[in-house]
A and B are shown apart, each in its own frame.
Chain A
Amino acid sequence: NAGVTQTPKFQVLKTGQSMTLQCAQDMNHEYMSWYRQDPGMGLRLIHYSVGAGITDQGEVPNGYNVSRSTTEDFPLRLLSAAPSQTSVYFCASRTGQGHNSPLHFGNGTRLTVT
C-alpha cells in the first residue's frame, strides 16, 4: 500500500517563485490536510478538506492555496514564496468513519525559500 504520497521530497525556491506540493492518497479517505513543521513549534494546520470540492482554512493559511477536485489528490500551492515559508510540509489523510480515526502522514517535503 502506498498510503499518502508527497512529492517532491526536497525543494529550494527563490523569493517570489510559485510552486505546488503534490499529495495523493490511495486509501479512499475523506479527510485530507496540510501541516507545516517548524523547529520548536510542533505541527500547525494550514488547510484541510473534508471531501472533494470542500476546503477550509486551518491555523496558518496565509500564503497558501488548496483545492480538492478528487478524493485522492490535495495539492498545496505557494503563490509567491517567502523565506517565512521555509519549513517541512506534511500532507495527511484519515477516514471520516469515526472521530477518533488517526491521521496517516506522508513523508514530508522540506522546502527552503532563499
Chain B
Amino acid sequence: AQTVTQSQPEMSVQEAETVTLSCTYDTSESDYYLFWYKQPPSRQMILVIRQEAYKQQNATENRFSVNFQKAAKSFSLKISDSQLGDAAMYFCAYRSQGGSEKLVFGKGTKLTVNP
C-alpha cells in the first residue's frame, strides 16, 4: 500500500520569504499523480498544485512550485514571497494512475507566516 510522509509537523516563515515543505511517498507504481492541498482555518480543502509522475518538468502555479524527484520519491512544495494568507495546513497526497479512487494523504504540515 502507498504511504505519504510529511516529516515537518510545523514550519514557520517570514512574510516575503521562501519556504519549502517536504513530502516523501512510498510506492511500487511507475505512474501516479501527486497533489498539494491547503487547508486554512476555515477548514476548506483547496488544491494548490498537482504533478503527473510521467512528466519530468516540475509543476508551477504562480508563487507555488514543486520539486519532484521521482527516483527519490520526493515531492516538496516551495512557496515564494510568502504572504499572510498562506498560513494553513498543507497536505501532500498521492493517487494511483488507474483502478483505485483513493487519495492517500500525509498527516500535514502547519505553516505559520510571521509578519
Contact = CB atoms under 8 A, between A and B. Distances in A.
Interface string B36-56: 000000111111001010000
B57 interface: no
B75 interface: no
How big is chain B's contact interface, by range?
A: 20 to 34
Interface residues of A, number: 24
Tell which of A40, A43, A44, A107 has the most Cβ of chain B within 10 Å: A43
A102 B55 CA distance: 17
Interface string B79-97: 0000000000001000101
Given A100-B50, A105-B44, A50 B91 contact: no
A35 B91 CA distance: 14
Given A100-B33, A102-B35, A107 B101 contact: no
Contacts of A40: 107
B97 A99 contact: yes
A45 B108 contact: no
Interface string A25-51: 000000101010000111111001010
Contacts of B95: 99
B115 interface: no
Given A99-B98, A102-B50, A107-B44, A42 B105 contact: yes
A58 B47 CA distance: 21
B64 to A, nearest CB: 14
Nearest to B4: A42
B11 interface: no
A12 interface: no
A88 interface: yes
Interface of B: 4, 33, 35, 42-47, 50, 52, 91, 95, 97-98, 101-103, 105-108
